[in-house]
Amino acid sequence: MKVYDEQGLSHALAQMRGGQAGGPSPQRKNLRSRLAIGGGLILIVILLWRSSCSCVSMMCSDEILQELPSPDGQRVARVSVHDCGALGDIARVVELVARRWLIPDSSKTVFVEAIRGEVPSGSGRRPEAGVAWRGTRDLIVYQHSETGIIRAESKALDVTVTYEKY
């Protein structure tokens, strides 16, 4: 039976594991590098998947068709089109904006109508804008009778909203 001192024991144990004294074995180093590479690949896959999910929203565009101030100038009715290209639907959006002095404007979406397939009026893929003020606190939104209404608020920002089909 051999008797080892502390340094000799460390060296003998390292040789039995197949490595050098004082450091991790080659198998353990290989395992660590494989885990690091695998974790890096998983991270890359997650980042690629995440970036591909936002590509659809990058292909969409918003175009303002009309901005109509109220008679007192304190509010604006903004009509815009949200268009996601040839493969997507388009939507006409009416937003009410309260203009404020010294503080940021506040806004509220009051009407969203989905237009599938053929655009009922307007040029190209742009539907005709349709809002009018009846007074300082009354807004009329003209909607096409053959479209799908997603949102239709009756009151927003102290303004009564009414709808008429064209």
pLDDT digits (tens, 9 = 90+) for 69-117: 999 989 999 998 888 776 667 788 899 998 877 677 788 888 888 876 5
Q: Where does the pLDDT of residue 125 fall: very low under 50, low under 70, confident under 90, or very high at 90 and above?
A: very low
pLDDT digits (tens, 9 = 90+) for 56-71: 455 777 888 889 999 9
Identify the pLDDT of residue 82.
81
Domain boundaries, the chain: 6-53, 59-165
Output the six-digit token pair for 108: 């509220």
Quote the radius of gyration of the chain (alpha carbons, Å): 33
pLDDT digits (tens, 9 = 90+) for 36-49: 787 777 777 776 66
Q: How far is CA 63 from the centre of its chain?
A: 17
Look at the chain and count its residues. 166
What's the whole-number average pLDDT of the chain? 75
What is the percent of the chain where pLDDT is above 70?
A: 61
HEC assignment per residue over the chain: CCCCCHHHHHHHHHHHHCCCCCCCCHHHHHHHHHHHHHHHHHHHHHHHHHHHHCHHHHCCEEEEEEEEECCCCCEEEEEEEEECCCCCCEEEEEEEEECCCCCCCEEEEEEEEEECCCCCCCCCCCCCCCEEEEECCEEEEEECCCCEEEEECCEECCEEEEEEEC
> If you average pLDDT over residues 136-161, what whole number do you get?
86
| Half-sphere exposure for 69 (CA within 13 Å, toward CB) | 5
> If you average pLDDT over residues 121-131, what whole number do you get?
58
Cα(87)–Cα(117) distance, rounded to whole angstroms? 10
Identify the pLDDT of residue 77.
92
